[in-house]
Amino acid sequence: MTQQNPDPEQRIGPRPLERPAVDPSSAAAFGRPAGVTGAFSPHAAARPPLGGLPSAPPTPDALASAFGRTPADTGVRLQRPPGGDAGDEGHLWSEDADPWRDPAAGAVIGPPAVPKDDDEPAAGSAQGTGRLLSLPDVLFGRRVKPIALALLGVVALVIGAAGGLVGWAVARSGDALTSDVTLAQVEPGVQRPVGSVSDIATRVRPAVVSIEVRMEQGGGTGSGVFIDGSGYILTNWHVVTLEGRATPESTITTVFTDGTRAEAKVVGTDPKTDLAVIKVAVTNPTVLQFGDSDKLQVGDPVIAVGSPLGLSDTVTQGIVSALHRPVVAGGENGEAPITYDAIQTDAAINQGNSGGPLVDATGALIGINSAIRSSTGNTGSIGLGFAIPGNDAKRIAETIIRDGQVKHADIGANVKSVSADTAEGAQVVNVADGGAAAAAGIAEGDVIRKVGDRQVRNAAELTVAVREHRPGDTVPVVLARQGRELTIQVTLRSD
């Protein structure tokens, strides 16, 4: 496209220059001096030429010869090009030289002063890293900084731990029966109200001791309970005498719940009721108080404490299974049999519990554990345990502590158990001369059926019924004679 020239008559002239009026004060501050019309001061023309200006003193000859350029007429260059010799007269500036090199410069950038070794590996080659370090060089050759070794060890540990965690996670995820769970736990403590088994056991256990009897040949263990603050302990006759086998040289040792041991002495025994009292020299022992065993009822809860099978400080719980259960034991070697009116309980009682306490729900002593009944071939507890009533044990213990021995009421007749349609009780086999039965007119063949208020159904019940009274007491005795029932008064005598 061709652009046509515009019409000259249509051209627009320059815009008129408007110069505003200058304030006299501004003109005086920023205007040109008087007589100056240009941009430069008229005094600049009067300055001396450049060569006439004062300059620095000339360079010393020593510095000029050392650092200055070599004069052209000497023909000596400060440095030859790489590969050149001293006699080379060629110029430094050539077609092969660096085009940016200043030919007038006094030095040339060249190779290092040490000549290059042809056998040295080239930089960047596979062998340019130098000799490889061995393990002794790394550890003992001081070729690696200790901090580097430490960091290397930390890295190895982190990698190993991460690998172990990964392996553990893989192993756990592979078993569908295992998982990472947190089991719930109950925070509130167990409530132990007053009167609970735990509360009773806490109060009773310190009063119970283990009894160890040693003789030249053999020995035995049992239990006992403190009944007085002077150190008196109530236990079984068969425990302290090993059923009559102990000798005066035998030793009796009591072991308390805290492990303290003390030697004991026999105060007295009652073989007919299987009771004995021993004494130890201790101060302020824990003592159990007697309860009223006559107020017990079948089903009342009871607790037995002792050392069954040598396991000291053992607590078992049960109930009163039966009351007034006559128990007869012993009687070998011409000795009088052990007979007492027992409390039957299902609390677990085993060998070693003998002599230990049977307490009620208040912690009161209501019986002395003495015997168990087992099935054929079984010597352990089957829930048939027997304890001497607390009221009888208290009376006998007081007598032993006071007199050293016990006297029981006696009717003066040998009897046997009978059971028939016409009579059930204890039949008189013979009457002792001068005894209570002979004095009252009891004859051989009579069947005694009642003594005082106590029903007599067998020979054992006659013994316990008579022993409920004291020597010298007169009691009514109901008996059957030749099909007739009659009551006679019998004044009991001492055994």
Same domain, 332 and 363: yes
pLDDT, position 130: 65
CA pair distance 434, 394, nearest whole angstrom: 31
Q: Name the band, by pLDDT with cuts 50, 70 and 90, for residue 307.
A: very high
Q: Is the pTM of this model over 0.75?
A: no
φ/ψ (deg, to 5) at 478: -95, 130
Say yes or no: 235 and 323 in one domain.
no
Task: Identify whether 447 is part of a domain.
Answer: yes
- Whether 325 maps to a domain, the answer reads yes
Mean pLDDT of 226-231: 94
DSSP string spanning 257-301?
A: TTS-EEEEEEEEEETTTTEEEEEE--SS---PPB--GGG--TT-E
CATH number of domain containing 454: 2.30.42.10
- The answer on 246 and 215 residing in a single domain is yes
Distance CA 396, CA 407 (A): 9
- Furthest-apart CA pair in the chain: how many Å? 187
Q: Are residues 301 and 385 in the same domain?
A: yes
Final residue of a domain: which of 280, 306, 337?
Answer: 280
Q: Tell me, what amino acid is at 223? A: S
Check whether 68 has a pLDDT greater than 90. Answer: no
Are 308 and 258 part of one and the same domain? no
Mean pLDDT of 352-370: 95
Note the pLDDT of residue 45.
52
**CB 449, CB 424: distance < 8 Å:** yes
Instruction: Evaluate whether 324 touches 301 at the Cβ level (below 8 Å).
Output: no
pLDDT at 46 over 60: no
399 and 305 belong to one structural domain? yes
Q: What is the per-residue pLDDT for 153?
A: 86
Residue 315 domain flag: yes
> Do residue 301 and residue 352 come from a single domain?
yes
For residues 114 and 410, which has the higher predicted lDDT (pLDDT)?
410
Q: Into how many domains does the chain fold?
A: 3
Query: Does residue 417 carry a catalytic annotation?
Result: no
pLDDT tens digits, residue range 124-161? 455 555 667 676 666 666 666 778 778 888 999 999 99
Beta-strand pair 424-431/454-455? unpaired
- Say which CATH number the domain at 300 has: 2.40.10.10
The active-site residue, picked from 223, 238, 321, 370, is 238
The tens digit of pLDDT for each residue in 434-475 reads 899 999 999 999 999 999 999 999 999 999 999 999 999 999
Q: Is 421 a known active-site residue?
A: no
Instruction: Pick the catalytic residue from 223, 293, 321, 354.
Output: 354
pLDDT given for residue 86 in this prediction: 47
The pLDDT of residue 77 = 53
Told to judge if 294 belongs to the known catalytic residues of this protein, a careful annotator would answer no
DSSP conformation letters of 449-487:
EEETTEE--SHHHHHHHHHTS-TT-EEEEEEEETTEEEE
Chain Cα centroid distance, residue 386: 40
Token pair of 384 as six digits: 């048939």
Same domain as 246, residue 314? no
Is residue 483 included in any domain, yes or no? yes
The residues pairing with 386 across neighbouring beta strands, listed in sequence order, are 344, 371
Query: Residue 335 — pLDDT band, cuts 50, 70, 90?
Result: confident
Domain for residue 220, yes or no? Answer: yes
Choose one of 403, 431, 450: the last residue of a domain.
Answer: 403
> Does 348 share its domain with 433?
no
Spatial CA neighbour of 372 closest among 387, 359, 355, 356: 387
272 pLDDT higher than 60: yes
Alpha carbons 459 and 461: distance in angstroms, whole number: 5
Q: Which domain holds residue 307?
A: 293-403
Residues 299 and 397 in one domain: yes
Mean pLDDT, residues 258-269 taken together: 94
Residue among 251, 172, 232, 240 nearest 401 (CA): 232
The one catalytic residue among 210, 223, 250, 274: 274
355 located within any domain: yes
Band of residue 168 on the pLDDT scale cut at 50, 70, 90 = confident
pLDDT exceeding 70 applies to what percent of the chain?
Answer: 74
449 part of a folded domain: yes
HEC string of 208-266 equals: EEEEEEECCCCEEEEEEEECCCCCEEEECHHHHCCCCCCCCCCEEEEECCCCCEEEEEE
Residue 83: pLDDT over 90: no
**Do 399 and 297 belong to one domain?**
yes
For 103, the token pair is 């030919």
**Final residue before a domain boundary, out of 245, 280, 315:** 280
> What's the one-letter identity of residue 58?
P
Nearest CA to 371 out of 344, 335, 397 is that of: 344
398 in the same domain as 302: yes
Instruction: For residue 445, tell me if it sits in a domain.
Output: yes
